[in-house]
Amino acid sequence: MASSSLSLLLLLFILASLLSASTVAYNVSYDSRSLIINGHRKLLISAAIHYPRSVPAMWPGLVDLAKKGGVDVIETYVFWNGHELSPDNYYFGGRYDLVKFCKIVQQAGMYLILRIGPFVAAEWNFGGVPVWLHYVPGTVFRTDNEPFKHYMQKFMTYIVNMMKKEKLFASQGGPIILAQVENEYGFYETAYGEGGKRYAQWSASMAVAQNTGVPWIMCQQFDPPDTVIDTCNSFYCDNFKPISPHKPKFWTENWPGWFKTFGASDPHRPPEDVAFSVARFFQKGGSLQNYYMYHGGTNFGRTSGGPFITTSYDYDAPIDEYGLARCPKWGHLKDLHRSIKLCEHALLNGEPSLLSLGPSQEADVYEDPTGACTAFISNMDDKNDKTVVFRNTSYYLPAWSVSILPDCKNVVFNTAKVGSQTSVVEMIPTDLQPSATSPNKDLKGVQWDVFVEKAGAWDTADFTKNGLVDHINTTKDTTDYLWYTTSLHVDETEEFLKNGRSPMLLVESKGHAMHVFVNKKLQASASGNGTVSRFKFTSPISLKAGNNEIALLSMTVGLQNAGAFYEWIGAGPTSVRIEGLKNGTVDLSTSIWTYKIGLQGEHLRIYDTNNLNAVKWESTPEPPKQQPLTWYKAVVDSPPGNEPIGLDMMHMGKGLAWLNGEEIGRYWPRKASKYEICVQKCDYRGKFSPNKCNTGCGEPTQRWYHVPRSWFKPSGNILVIFEEKGGDPTQIRFSARKVSNVCSHISEDHPSFYSESLQKSSTGEYSNKATVSLKCPTNKQISAVKFASFGDPVGTCGSYARGQCHDPNSVLVVGKVCLHKNDCELELSKKNFDMELCPSLVKKLAVEVVCS
């Protein structure tokens, strides 16, 4: 054979091995410092994205946006109750297509952490454990209990085998580098006594015996066996130490925000503090950090737990519920990740030394034998900025911040200095557009067809019983709704019939919410909240002489998702009394009650596009408003454009919504009390807690409900709403989520590293020209410069104003560089601005541009 064809063969062979590189097995192990992949220590940034909290059409975009944000690993829980619908009846379609999700991560060239649990908490219904398991006789969750362990092991094995079959573990060339068993058991273990201890040990052994070839983790586990790695979940994990000195320091949950509950205000965690916590963690020897959540997404249908967790699971995460980068959080963390990555080698292989630079100031320095040096300098003072001297150089550190010096000399990043852009995001309403296929397309606005539920047992009762039963034990969570109906005879001689003084109804309930109907009329509504599920209330009711029907519609709003013995927490009324009758107080708690599980519309699945005709819908030109127990149906066109869509339910009461049979979820524009504590501007300095930086006091906790674009057809979409207590359907709108403007505000001494184009120069020095970067969404251009001032501008994005010092060419220069482009970069140098202006000031550039 000629040598040229030999080398061609060789070339082909090399090419073939390169192409298949992603499916070649690789070795994941660890030492006390980090994970070791194919013999190399790895510093890893991970991002939680839960597959059922978005839709398959969004997965590639979310994973890609995480990768662009400097993330190496995607992390997800596995949601048992979404997969094992009844014993041995598995589902992996649609949003639950776990294998598809894993392969999207793999194709993006990223790693995956699979937290199988299968208990996951996660603000997810029942913590992810199927409700049916609670009703397998003798079962107690999360302890040394045979039925629980049997079903847990069966599911764990099922998932592991499925992953093995698809070659998804690293040991098979797949993306999975770590797997988790159980979840945050440490806090509850003692409540289960010796059984708890045995269960924790059993869980670890059972997992390790699965033989996946990758290490197992247990988060917040305080007595982990040596076969697993215990990891930290918190807002800060710099002080965390794994129990064994042979384990690396991993952070499985850094919460960049917090979840919301219906009726409470909206928590935000400032990007400067998230970055501070991450930098501190790596400063103090951490090597793997996961954002929980990086994209929170949506609790579609009835998947939210709590109780009272909202349908939105936005979490104030770097990628918002709708899949858009949340800026500046996303960009600031991206800059942070790039800066930390520059330090990877020295951090993981260097010898650490700690230097005190003041009472709350310190430097951690990592130097390796090759002379590479990296330093993190922090100022933990939560009020005062500070200048410190490190290696004979002065460094100015804002309060509560960390500076990163990849070469022990130049600061490339400070956690408190946000250089990345801020986006202004708006929800732009569009009227619902009737579809050509709808019957009265000539009408102005959409036509709503109506079906009204009967209050009380709407058909043959499911059962009749003396006394009040537990709600969850009765519905087994097949529905939110349970009707409790009884009757009360009122004698004609009752005084109140003459003097008009209404008798009072007194109800006590374990939760979560209730509407009271007397003789088919809504009399009262009440509910608990995310802090206290129980509630009691007193309400006047109108009774008539003779027989009265009292019908309570009791509701769950997501089942308990965590806590010791959480599966035993019940719901529903425990006491029903009436005061103000001749006899004094009449206790109905022990009366005969008839029970009906769920609504008629639910039984007939009238939201399902195949079953729409199971009831007779009334077509009326004007739909009824403020009418309880009403189903509404409309045929609508897809909203124009391609922005993500939220359904505006501001003017509705409470209920459920579907599009084309897909479950949008529970809606409830319940307002946060205006007496809660909210902030105008959040002070990032100091320890964060979930209530520190809330907004939305006095406003609905959740007004918009995400309807994924992939659920829409161009025309003929069926929108179905079930309204419990009364609302105005004519006010329902689709709102498009748009980035209208972007802003940037940085000073001339800003570390320049965040700019993509600026790397180490040929002389090995980092450029120190501060640079502004602006970027509109894909397919949008910078169409106008709304504001630009180089000098000492004041204000925040949306309300910038000139200060005393202003370069008059600012707008012109920004326009010249940026107009009609999707993105642009501007150096704060004399090329662009008058650097001699106001020489005593550290000057800043503030810019706001319009994207269209």
List of residues contacting ligand NAG (CB under 6 A):
27, 29, 36, 39, 263-264, 391-392, 470, 473, 489, 529, 531-532, 570, 581, 583, 586, 673
Distance in Å, CB of 339 to ligand NAG, minimum = 22
Task: Name the residue nearer to ligand NAG (CB basis): 263 or 793.
Answer: 263
Distance between CA 328 and CA 221 in Å, rounded? 34
Identify the active-site residue in 123, 184, 321, 827. Answer: 184
CA-based nearest residue to 768, from 415, 410, 420, 416:
410
Label residue 461 exposed, middle or buried (CB < 10 Å: 0-12, 13-18, 19+): middle
Task: Name the residue nearer to ligand NAG (CB basis): 331 or 530.
Answer: 530
Between strands 592-597 and 463-466, the pairing is: antiparallel
What would the two tokens of residue 597 be?
């599980």
Distance between CA 527 and CA 78 in Å, rounded? 31
Distance between CA 35 and CA 27 in Å, rounded? 10
Task: Name the residue nearer to ligand NAG (CB basis): 440 or 538.
Answer: 538
Task: Name the residue nearer to ligand NAG (CB basis): 392 or 757.
Answer: 392
Distance in Å, CB of 48 to ligand NAG, minimum = 26
Contact 752, 834 (CB under 8 A): no
Distance in Å, CB of 177 to ligand NAG, minimum = 12
Residue reference for tokens 């034998």: 369
Taking the C-alpha atoms of 63, 66, 68 and 73 in order, what is their torsion angle to the nearest 10 degrees?
Answer: -90
**Which residue(s) pair with 741 in the sheet?**
424, 850
Task: Name the residue nearer to ligand NAG (CB basis): 415 or 509.
Answer: 509
Distance in Å, CB of 676 to ligand NAG, minimum = 6
Q: Reduced to 3 states, what is the DSSP secondary structure of residue 251?
A: strand
Over the Cα atoms of the chain, what is R_g? 30
Q: Reduced to 3 states, what is the DSSP secondary structure of residue 197?
A: helix
Identify the active-site residue in 75, 84, 123, 253. Answer: 253
Distance in Å, CB of 737 to ligand NAG, minimum = 27
Task: Name the residue nearer to ligand NAG (CB basis): 176 or 274.
Answer: 176
Distance between CA 770 and CA 749 in Å, rounded? 6
Task: Name the residue nearer to ligand NAG (CB basis): 208 or 450.
Answer: 208
Task: Name the residue nearer to ligand NAG (CB basis): 256 or 267.
Answer: 267
279, containing H or E segment: helix 271-283
Label residue 460 exposed, middle or buried (CB < 10 Å: 0-12, 13-18, 19+): exposed
Distance between CA 657 and CA 707 in Å, rounded? 10
Task: Name the residue nearer to ligand NAG (CB basis): 509 or 767.
Answer: 509
Task: Name the residue nearer to ligand NAG (CB basis): 421 or 527.
Answer: 527
CA-based nearest residue to 262, from 471, 475, 556:
556
**Which residue(s) pair with 634 in the sheet?**
719
**Cβ count near 131 (within 10 Å):** 16
Distance in Å, CB of 36 to ligand NAG, minimum = 5
Distance between CA 216 and CA 710 in Å, rounded? 36
DSSP conformational letter for 15: H
Active site residue 184: yes
Distance between CA 544 and CA 102 in Å, rounded? 62
Distance in Å, CB of 607 to ligand NAG, minimum = 29
**Cβ count near 145 (within 10 Å):** 16
Residue number, nearest CB to ligand NAG:
570
Distance in Å, CB of 536 to ligand NAG, minimum = 9
Between strands 422-430 and 401-405, the pairing is: unpaired
Active site residue 622: no
Distance between CA 552 and CA 513 in Å, rounded? 10
Q: What does the chain come to in residues?
A: 852
What would the two tokens of residue 472 be?
């969850």
Task: Name the residue nearer to ligand NAG (CB basis): 138 or 369.
Answer: 138
Distance in Å, CB of 531 to ligand NAG, minimum = 5
Amino acid at 742: V
Distance between CA 338 and CA 762 in Å, rounded? 19
Q: Can you give 407-459 as a three-state secondary structure string?
A: CCCCCCEECCCCCCCEEEEEEEEECCCECCCCCCCCCCCCCCEEEECCCCCCC
Distance in Å, CB of 204 to ligand NAG, minimum = 20
CA-based nearest residue to 776, from 418, 327, 297:
327
Distance in Å, CB of 346 to ligand NAG, minimum = 17
Distance between CA 644 and CA 777 in Å, rounded? 12
What would the two tokens of residue 206 be?
């059972």
Distance between CA 309 and CA 323 in Å, rounded? 20
CA-based nearest residue to 716, from 512, 386, 433, 477:
433
Q: Reduced to 3 states, what is the DSSP secondary structure of residue 91?
A: coil
Task: Name the residue nearer to ligand NAG (CB basis): 8 or 592.
Answer: 592
Peptide bond preceding 58 in cis form (omega within 30 of 0): no
Distance in Å, CB of 392 to ligand NAG, minimum = 4
Spatial CB neighbours of 555, under 8 Å, sequence gap ≥ 6: 480, 481, 482, 512, 513, 514, 515, 527, 724
Distance in Å, CB of 194 to ligand NAG, minimum = 22
Task: Name the residue nearer to ligand NAG (CB basis): 70 or 503.
Answer: 503
> What does 589-604 look like in DSSP terms, one character per residue?
TTSEEEEEES-HHHHT
Q: Catalytic residue numbers? A: 184, 253
